[in-house]
Amino acid sequence: MKIELKSTLSCPKCGHKKEEIMPTDACQFFYECTNCKKVIRPLEGDCCVYCSYGSVACPSIQEKNDCCK
């Protein structure tokens, strides 16, 4: 099963897009936008910023594991 590790994060504050490599061993809860320097957090119910703002769901979701529990 192929897991996509590249995700394009879209900053909810300024709309800046940046391609990032997602960590496979942990969920990334905080992400500092490289453009506006705002620290963004996941939306309620999401485990990481990639699930909320990325183009691809995080590896844990792709594996259908329950992460962060």
Task: Enumerate binding residues for Zn ion (CB under 5 A).
Answer: 11, 13-14, 16, 33, 35-36
CB-wise, 12 or 23, nearer to Zn ion? 12
Q: How far apart are CA 65 and CA 25, in angstroms?
A: 12
Q: How far apart are CA 5 and CA 14, in angstroms?
A: 24
Query: How many CB atoms within 10 Å of residue 66?
Result: 9
CB-wise, 6 or 37, nearer to Zn ion? 37
Q: CB of 12 within 8 A of CB of 41? A: no
CB-wise, 54 or 59, nearer to Zn ion? 54
Q: Name the token pair of 20.
A: 């990032």
Shortest reach from residue 53's CB to Zn ion, in Å: 10
Shortest reach from residue 15's CB to Zn ion, in Å: 7
Shortest reach from residue 8's CB to Zn ion, in Å: 13
